[in-house]
Amino acid sequence: MANDIQMKLVEALKEKGLKAATAESLTGGLISKRITEISGSSEVFECGICSYSNRIKHDILGVPNDILEKYTEYSSETAVAMAEGVRKLSGADIGISTTGIAGPNGGTAEKPVGLVYVGISTKNHSFAKELHLSRNLPDERDKIRFAASSYAMYYALKELENYEF
């Protein structure tokens, strides 16, 4: 199913006549890549911003510095602000974001490797989901990033199914 999720998302966006945009940190453009692998995605995909640095999160996406300082870039608050920022910047109907720690380095006891936040934003509703994707396996960085991109598209798809635009 993970490989079909981008097709389902593109189809749902087409059916509703909506457009999406992404703001990716942890996934580094993987969601954008997967969406644009689908023929016809240009009808529904506005843009993808790879906002790996906090400077870009702030300067381009408009994530307030106080959120980055108080909660860090690995937080639900940052994920929501990223999704809202890319939605507003692009004019898309739904903004999708990811931030977190893919490892193998960078984790702490409070924020371990595999901690992921997915942000979803529409004009009337924004939220973040916290995920713990590490299975303490060797070389799992790519698996965490792929799973995070799949979950992000899944939550976007669920929002499209259940939300009136």
Does 84 have pLDDT greater than 70?
yes
Q: What are the structural domain ranges in the chain? A: 5-162
- Contact present, 113 and 88 (Cβ < 8 Å): no
Predicted structure pTM score: 0.96
| 98, containing H or E segment | strand 94-100
Whether domain 5-162 has CATH 3.90.950.20: yes
> Tens of pLDDT along 21-70?
999 999 999 999 999 999 999 999 999 999 999 999 999 999 999 999 99
Does 113 have pLDDT greater than 70?
yes
Phi-psi region of 130 (alpha: psi -120 to 50; beta: other; left: phi over 0): beta
Q: What average pLDDT is seen over the chain?
A: 95
- Contact present, 107 and 113 (Cβ < 8 Å): yes
